[in-house]
């Protein structure tokens, strides 16, 4: 009999696993109830999201936030840096530049994208 290897934590994640779990518990929902509320067939999917071994991408994270009646920002993984123009969060870029990005909730490119990051 072969044993299935445990899933390893994924990085980077779009979400903060502990924040998802805490928000679910605060709403008095089980993992099964949350999975059903967002249309997932597997409770394991929620368990893996809360355990950090599965990523909750932007669309799934939005669905989770709606089901838990909280903002997406409360469930997102905190980024190390923010664009000083529009607030876009990002981790360290290898070239020291602000990554190309659109201004949140628009389809317009932020003019700061591609510039060398200011020292904080």
pLDDT score recorded for residue 118: 66
pLDDT digits (tens, 9 = 90+) for 25-48: 999 999 999 999 999 999 999 999
The token duo for 59 is: 């669309």
Domains of the chain with bracketed CATH: 17-74 (1.10.260.40), 79-120 (no CATH)
- Cα-Cα-Cα-Cα dihedral sign, residues 65, 75, 38, 33: negative
Count of positions (residues) in the chain: 120
pLDDT score recorded for residue 94: 67
pLDDT score recorded for residue 38: 96
pLDDT score recorded for residue 1: 54
pLDDT < 70 regions, the chain: 1-12, 93-94, 104-105, 117-120
pLDDT score recorded for residue 119: 58
The angle at the Cα of 27, spanning 66 to 52, to the nearest 5 degrees, equals 70
Chain mean pLDDT for the chain: 82
């Amino acid at each position: 009999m072969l044993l299935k290897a445990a899933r390893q934590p994924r990085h980077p994640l779009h979400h903060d696993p502990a924040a998802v779990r805490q928000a679910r518990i605060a709403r008095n929902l089980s993992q099964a109830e949350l999975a059903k509320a967002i249309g997932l067939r597997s409770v394991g999917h929620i368990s893996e999201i809360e355990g950090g071994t599965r990523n909750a991408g932007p669309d799934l994270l939005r669905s989770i936030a709606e089901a838990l009646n909280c903002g997406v920002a409360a469930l997102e993984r905190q980024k190390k840096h923010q664009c000083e123009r529009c607030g876009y969060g990002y981790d360290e870029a290898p070239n020291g530049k602000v990554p190309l990005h659109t201004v949140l909730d628009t389809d317009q490119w932020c003019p700061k994208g591609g510039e060398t990051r200011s020292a904080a």
